[in-house]
Structure 1
Amino acid sequence: MGESKRKKEAKESEKLIFEKENYKFMIIGLAVIAVGFILMAGGGSDDPNVFNPDIFSWRRIRLAPTVILIGFAIEVYAILLKPKSAK
C-alpha cells in the first residue's frame, strides 16, 4: 500500500510546468522571432569603402523590429497562459 502512494507522489512530482498548448505558442513565438531576424538580415556591402543605402530600407528599420516584438509578445503570452488543469 505504501509503494503505490510513493509511485503516485513521484508521478505528481514529474508533472511539467507547461502544457502542450504553452509549448505550441512558444514554438510559434520563436518562429516569428526568427522571421524577424531573417527580414533584418542583408543590406551590407562587400567593399567597406562603398556605402549601400539598402541598410536603411523600410523592411529593416520598421518591419523586422516590429515582427520581433510581436514574437516576444507571443512568448510572454505562452509563459503566462494558465494550464487547463489549474483552471
Structure 2
Amino acid sequence: MQAKKEVLPLGKINFIMIAVCVLLIMLGFFLMTGSANTGATWNEDVFNTTRTVVGPMVALAGFTLLIFAIIFKKKD
C-alpha cells in the first residue's frame, strides 16, 4: 500500500508572501512607536508624520497584502 501524500492548502509561495506581509506589518507598528510622553515635558514628536501617517499606511498595506497572499493560487 502506498501512503497518501499530504497536500497543504497553501503553497510555498503563499507562505513566503505571508512572511513578507508579517514583516511589513511589524515595520508599520515599529514606525508608529516612539518615546514616551511624560507629564513634566511635552514632546512634539507625538504628532510626527512618520508616526501618524507612514506607520499606519505601511501596516494597512501589510494587512491588505496578507489577504491577497492567503487567497493567491499559483496557475499550473
Band the TM-score falls in, shorter-chain normalisation: 0.7 to 0.9
Moved over 6 A (4+): none
Structure 2 residue aligned with 1:17, among 4, 9, 16? 9
Deviation at 1:65, TM superposition (A): 0.3
Identify unmatched segments of 5+ residues in structure 1. Answer: none
Identity %: 33
Give the CA deviation at 1:78.
0.6
CA distance, structure 1, for counterparts of residue 42 and residue 59 of structure 2: 26
Do the aligned partners of 1:39 and 1:60 also contact (CA within 8 Å) in 2?
yes
CA distance in 2, matches of 1:43, 1:74: 29
Q: Which runs of 5+ in 2 are unaligned?
A: none
Tell me the equivalent position of 1:40: 32
Q: TM-score, normalised by structure 2?
A: 0.87
The count of residues paired between Structure 1 and Structure 2 equals: 76
Q: Which amino acid aligns with 1:64?
A: G
RMSD of aligned C-alpha atoms? 1.5
